[in-house]
Amino acid sequence: MQRSKPAEPPVAVVVARAPSDAPRGLLEPGWLERPAGTAVLLAIVLGLALSLSVLTWRLLFGPVPLQVPIAAAIVAPIVGLPLILYLQHIIHRLAQSQRALTRLTAQLTAATEEAETASRAKSEFLARMSHELRTPLNAVIGYSEMLLEDADAGNGVDEQHAADVRRIRSAGRHLLSMVNDVLDLSKIEAGRMDVQAQPIDLVHFLDDIAATGRQLMAARRNELRIERAPDLGTMVGDATKLRQVTLNLLGNAAKFTENGRITLAVAREPKAAGDWIRIAVSDTGIGIDADTLDRLFTNFTQADASIAARYGGTGLGLALSRKLCRLMGGDISVISEPGRGSQFTLRVPAG
Ligand SMILES: Nc1ncnc2c1ncn2[C@@H]1O[C@H](COP(=O)(O)OP(=O)(O)OP(=O)(O)O)[C@@H](O)[C@H]1O
Ligand SMILES: [Mg+2]
């Protein structure tokens, strides 16, 4: 079998251009801050003083004696220069602040672009890697199923080997479900997860979930109870994602409860802007403490190391479930009490 090349994350090159300090136009304050600016401003003040004094003298007293422009030329720089220097000082401070702001904005834009590119590259890499991993994993699971079929048919596979193959199949399935979670999460993060809108017959949907859910109960001798409201009818939504999230919650309930009762309750909630569907999974299991509740829906979060060691898992299920629910326009909430049990409730618009 030909091995495909491992996917390499795309390399992000971000070029951030530093803002130029050079003034970009006649009206930009750059030149005004320098000695050239002082000279220009002084010339303007001088010109204004001369013309104003000559004009005023002529209007008020007639012919202008030479002393008038001379006096204006002496007084104007004495009064104007300190004012001009003060004005230039203010302009300089303003220009400095503006330049610092421009530099910061450019740095911020570059950093944001860099972070977004890195995040896209990570999601892309994870999506490709997960895809590459699924092919050999499916082969491992497929071949172990063939061997088990041979064992069931009595085709020369002894019970000891069959038990080993069962372990390989179960480990393979577990690994596959983790890879699928990572793939889904990275697809969502890369904005490449689509949501279907198709009519779902809720009674039929629930029967299907209940059938799979019952199989999950056997391992820890739990009982599954289904409570369905009489007016369920149909909804418009993504049946695959809704099924995935509900089974995820049922899987958790079955995992963290022993010799207990798990209830799957589905109801329609009428609201002014349209009906919602509520799916609640309650259990009588170990419950969750307040600290863990706060960070339950974060990737790779498990209650503590002892839970991880005892029950396995990666802490991706709830993070993924919430993201899927939000993609469908809904959300998941939880209430729980350590030692008494938990209730996870997902709500989605009925469409
Ligand atoms: N019904 C529940 N009862 C008690 N604790 C729960 C329940 N559901 C979730 N938890 C706690 O929340 C944590 C996160 O759950 P999540 O489904 O995200 O991860 P996981 O089940 O540990 O692993 P994974 O789902 O990736 O296989 C669990 O490790 C557990 O500590
Ligand atoms: Mg889980």
Mutation pick for ligand 1 pocket among 252, 306, 322 (CB with most ligand atoms within 8 Å): 252
Is the torsion defined by CA of 132, 136, 141, 142 positive or negative?
positive
3 state DSSP class of 349: strand
Ligand with minimal distance to 312 CA: 1
Domain limits, the chain: 29-191, 198-349
- Determine the pLDDT at residue 152: 84
Helix/strand number for the chain, H first, E second: 8, 7
Contact, 286 vs 338, CB < 8 A? yes
Instruction: Tell me the C-alpha distance between 193 and 53, whole Å.
Output: 77
- Determine the pLDDT at residue 15: 36
- The DSSP code sequence of 122-171 is HHHHHHHHHHHHHHHHHHHHHHHHHHHHHHHTTSS--HHHHHHHHHHHHH
> Which one-letter amino acid corresponds to residue 262?
I
Instruction: Convert 119-142 to b/e letters by CB count within 10 Å (16 or more is b).
Output: ebbebbebbbbbebbeeebeebbe
Strand stretches in the chain, DSSP E: 198-201, 223-228, 234-237, 261-269, 276-283, 331-337, 341-349
- Determine the pLDDT at residue 2: 35
Q: Are strands 223-228 and 261-269 parallel, antiparallel or unpaired?
A: parallel
- Determine the pLDDT at residue 265: 97
| Span 176-191, pLDDT tens digits | 988 888 888 888 887 8
Task: Say yes or no: CB of residue 247 within 6 Å of ligand 1.
Answer: no
Spatial CB neighbours of 77, under 8 Å, sequence gap ≥ 6: 42, 45, 46
Q: What are phi and psi for residue 280, nearest 5 degrees? A: -115, 135
Tokens of 6: 């491992």
- Determine the pLDDT at residue 28: 60
Instruction: Convert 169-205 to b/e letters by CB count within 10 Å (16 or more is b).
Output: beebeeebebbbbbbbbbbbbbeebeeeeeebebeeb
Nearest 10 degrees: CA dihedral of 205, 336, 253, 262?
Answer: -70
pTM reported for the whole predicted model: 0.68
3 state DSSP class of 344: strand
Instruction: Tell me the C-alpha distance between 67 and 173, whole Å.
Output: 104
- Determine the pLDDT at residue 322: 96
Q: What is the whole-number distance in angstroms between the Cα of residue 240 and the centre of ligand 2? A: 17
- Determine the pLDDT at residue 21: 45
Q: What is the whole-number distance in angstroms between the Cα of residue 251 and the centre of ligand 2? A: 6
Q: By C-alpha distance, which of 320, 115, 344, 125 is closest to 249?
A: 344
Q: What CATH number should be reported for the domain whose range is 198-349?
A: 3.30.565.10
Instruction: Tell me the C-alpha distance between 15 and 39, whole Å.
Output: 40
Instruction: Tell me the C-alpha distance between 248 and 231, whole Å.
Output: 25
Task: Say yes or no: CB of residue 288 within 6 Å of ligand 1.
Answer: yes
Q: What is the CA radius of gyration of the chain?
A: 37
| Span 16-49, pLDDT tens digits | 344 444 445 555 667 888 888 899 999 999 999 9
- Determine the pLDDT at residue 29: 60
Instruction: Tell me the C-alpha distance between 4 and 38, whole Å.
Output: 71
Which residue's alpha carbon is nearest to atom 13 within ligand 1? 302
Per-residue pLDDT of the chain in tens (351 residues, 90 and over written 9): 333 333 333 333 333 344 444 445 555 667 888 888 899 999 999 999 999 999 999 999 999 999 999 999 999 999 999 999 999 999 889 989 999 999 999 999 999 999 988 888 887 888 788 788 888 999 999 999 999 998 888 777 788 888 999 999 989 998 998 888 888 888 888 788 899 999 999 999 999 999 999 999 999 999 999 999 998 999 999 999 999 999 999 999 999 999 999 999 999 999 998 999 999 999 999 999 998 898 889 887 777 777 777 887 788 899 999 999 999 999 999 999 999 999 999 999 998
Q: What is the whole-number distance in angstroms between the Cα of residue 266 and the centre of ligand 2? A: 20
- Determine the pLDDT at residue 25: 52
Q: What is the whole-number distance in angstroms between the Cα of residue 302 and the centre of ligand 2? A: 9
Ligand with minimal distance to 302 CA: 1
- The DSSP code sequence of 259-272 is S-EEEEEEEEE--T
